[in-house]
Amino acid sequence: MMVAAIENGTVLDHIPSDRLFDVVSMLHLEKMSNAITIGFNLKSAVMGTKSIIKIADKYFTDEELNQLSAVAPNITMCVIKDYVIIEKRTVEMPEELVGIVQCPNPKCITNNEPMKTRFRSVAQGKDIIRCCYCNRDVELSDVRIVE
Amino acid sequence: MKNRSLVTLAGHSREKIEYLIRMAQEFENYPNRRLLAGRVVATLFFEPSTRTRLSFETAANRLGARVIGFADPKVTSGTKGETLKDTMMMVSSYADVIVMRHYLEGAALYASEVAPVPIVNAGDGANQHPSQTMLDLYTIYQTQGTLDNLNIYMVGDLKYGRTVHSLLMAMRHFNPTFHFIAPDELAMPAVYKRYCDEYGIRYVEHQDFDADTISDADILYMTRVQKERFADLDEYERVKDRYLLKKDMLCKVRENMKILHPLPRVNEIEYSIDDTPYAYYFQQAQNGLYARQALICDVLGFTLEDVVNDKTIL
């Protein structure tokens, strides 16, 4: 299936299909009025299936995009201008993920106080993050996003 | 101002740990002083813990501080729905330092982020218990003359046992070899084994607990296997007596070996062991006083030099 090219905007590719709706909500796409094309469950040689999002006339900050690493560390982001890719990179895990990931530990202070969660990457190259408060490790595949 | 709170020892350098041990030695030599005269120490126990609270309050009292606080969480506003932040802000306006025990994990770090006065973590859920760790480190140093290159055997409940987790992390500077002796249900959690791997700490896991297994131990750190930790009570009945230390199991141990236990003990160390030279758990509890005196003074900004040159010794 082909997804139409956009003239200007941002393309997010290699999104695991089961994380598509997390990405939509983390970027608040449902509240935008821009033209957005979403490809869901597309065939991928590497991933089996993947999803892709094309957002016309919208550019994100590094901070906005890097938070996506909490659910999908291998998303690629392309910046398009006049149908040309002028920048392409993968999202990078920021030093801290603040207020994004919900701690799975019911006895963690973050689930019992009105406060933001804080997670750090355990080690580079490992898909595990650690709650700064209760020290619980969470695999990225199990991450739940703060509602 | 730099936040001097003590939330965990995990981030402390080797030098900082040795510094606190030296400070605790000073307090062991002269525990009664007026160093904290005019100060107010708050002890907030959102979860009851009589011996930790008594130890902290004794430490503060023997240094001349006044102590306020609560021992029973039922009397606090938390039960009325007050947030921890609000409680911290309120108590910070009364006290110079807050010693806090809380049932939620991460509560101490959060308190240290919101409170204007330093926090001493007296245990937060299953997470950290750094004052226990400090007294354990002090006791290990006192009995072995060093913290380096020791064989440390941890026995019993290694899953929920907060003290063993904190000790494991703090020992990373000292090239230890850990031996974990526990039933499957209460084995050392993967996160702490991963921690060992991250820091190149050697560890061996055992299920047997007998004279041969512990013959190379420098420190035998016993913990209680608690019935309430088991979902399957048959399983509890099956393993409960497998991790009891009996006197005849000490026949092959090293001369320098010492048995530690965070207390309270139920039956996991046979009472006849108390009279052997290996038993050290009561001295360990006493060391809690000196370690906590050092920790309270450190977070309040007193240096080792201040303590050495202290003119308020009684």
For the question of residue B52 being annotated catalytic, the response is yes
Query: Would you state the structure tokens that stand for residue A53, as one six-digit string?
Result: 């999002």
- The helix, strand and coil proportions of chain A, stated in percent and rounded to the nearest 5, come to 20, 40, 40
- Report if residue A2 sits inside a domain: no
* CATH code of the domain covering residue B237: 3.40.50.1370
Q: Is the pLDDT of residue B1 over 50?
A: no
Whether residues B136 and B103 share a domain: the answer is no
Residues in chain A: 147
Say if residue A14 is in the same domain as residue A85.
Answer: yes
> Is B270 within 8 Å of B73 (Cβ atoms)?
no
Q: Describe the crossing of helices B130-144 and B50-62 by its angle, rounded to 10 degrees.
A: 70
Cα–Cα distance list, A123 to A37, A137, B12, B259 (Å): 35, 11, 20, 35
Pull the structure tokens for residue B182.
Answer: 């526990």
Residues A84 and A127 in one domain: no
Mean pLDDT over residues B202-214, rounded?
A: 95
Assess whether B206 carries a catalytic annotation. no
Indicate whether B97 and B122 sit together in one domain: yes
Instruction: Please tell me if residue A118 touches chain B, with a CB cutoff of 8 Å.
Output: no
Q: Do A134 and B127 touch (CB under 8 A)?
A: yes
Q: Which residues of A touch B169 (CB under 8 A)?
A: none
B5-39 confidence digits (pLDDT tens): 999 998 899 999 999 999 999 999 999 999 999 99
> Residue A88 in 3-state DSSP?
strand
Q: Which residues of B touch A133 (CB under 8 A)?
A: 105-106, 109-110
Which of these is catalytic: B12, B62, B101, B165? B101
Name which of B83, B109, B127 is nearest A114 (Cβ-Cβ).
B83
**Domain of B113, in residue numbers:** 14-127+289-308
CB contact under 8 A, B104 and A132: no
Look up the domain containing A120 and give its range: 96-145
Q: How far is A71 from chain B (nearest CA, A)?
A: 21
Residues A30 and A80 both lie in one domain: yes
Per-residue pLDDT reduced to its tens digit, A104-123? 999 999 999 999 999 999 87
- pLDDT of residue B158 exceeding 60, the answer is yes
| Res A103 pLDDT > 60 | yes
The answer to whether the Cβ–Cβ distance between B107 and A109 falls below 8 Å is yes
Identify whether residues A79 and A59 lie together within a single domain.
Answer: yes
Inside any domain, residue A1: no
Choose the mutation target among B105, B128, B194, B196 for the interface with A, i.e. most A CBs under 10 Å. B105
Cβ–Cβ gap B125/A123 under 8 Å = no
Q: How far apart are CA B19 and CA B189, in angstroms?
A: 30
Nearest to A137 among B102, B127, B191 (CB): B191
Regarding whether B138 and B279 lie in a shared domain, the answer is yes
Assess whether B254 carries a catalytic annotation: no
The encoded tokens of residue A65 equal 């995009």
Please indicate, yes or no, if residue B2 is contained in any of the structural domains.
Answer: no
**Residue B218 forms part of a structural domain:** yes
Assess whether A74 and A112 both reside in one domain.
no
* Interface confidence (ipTM) of the complex: 0.86
pLDDT of residue B138: 98
**Whether residues B32 and B107 fall in one domain:** yes
Contacts of B191 in chain A (CB under 8 A): 135-137
Among the listed residues B43, B52, B133, B163, the single catalytic one is B52
Catalytic annotation on B129?
Answer: yes
Whether residue A29 is contained in a domain is answered as yes
Q: What does the block give as tokens for A3? A: 């997804």
Q: Which residues of B126-154 are buried (b: 16+ CB within 10 A; e: fewer)?
A: bbbbbbbbbbbbbbbbbbbeebeebbbbb
The pLDDT of residue A73 is above 50: yes
pLDDT greater than 80 at residue A3: no
Beta-carbon separation of A133 and B125 below 8 A:
no
The CATH number of whichever domain residue A110 belongs to comes to 2.30.30.20
| Residues A127, A61 share a domain | no
Last residue of a domain, one of A64, A90, A116: A90
When divided into structural domains, chain B yields a total of 2
Residue A96: pLDDT band with limits 50, 70, 90: very high
- For chain B, report the end-to-end CA distance as a whole number of angstroms: 32
- Chain B neighbors of A108, CB-CB under 8 A: 104-106
The whole-angstrom separation of Cα B157 and Cα B171 is 19
For tokens 């160390």, the residue is B269
Contact A115 B85 (CB under 8 A): yes
Looking at the structure, tell me whether residues B90 and B175 fall in a common domain.
no
Token pair listed for B17: 């740990």
Q: Residue B2: what pLDDT?
A: 56
Q: Does residue B5 fall inside a structural domain?
A: no
**pLDDT recorded at residue A127:** 86
CB pairs under 8 A between A and B: 50
Residues A84 and A112 in one domain: no
A60, A90, A120 - which closes a domain: A90
Cα→Cα distances B4→B28, B118, B292, B300, B312, Å: 23, 6, 15, 7, 24
Task: Let me know whether B54 and B105 are in one domain.
Answer: yes
**Pair (B303, B211) in one structural domain:** no
CATH number of the domain that residue A42 is part of: 3.30.70.140
User: How much is the pLDDT for A82?
Assistant: 96
Q: Are residues A19 and A38 in the same domain?
A: yes
- The answer to whether B105 contacts A114, with C-beta atoms less than 8 Å apart, is no
Determine the straight-line distance between the first and last CA of chain A, rounded to whole angstroms.
32
B118 within a domain of the structure (yes/no): yes
Same domain, A40 and A65: yes
Q: Structurally, how many domains does chain A consist of?
A: 2
Lowest mean pLDDT among A48-57, A94-103, B76-85: B76-85
Residues A101, A81 share a domain: no
Contact flag B104-A107 (C-beta cutoff 8 Å):
yes
* Domain-located, residue A22: yes
Q: Answer whether residue A1 shows pLDDT above 80.
A: no
Q: Is residue B4 part of a domain?
A: no
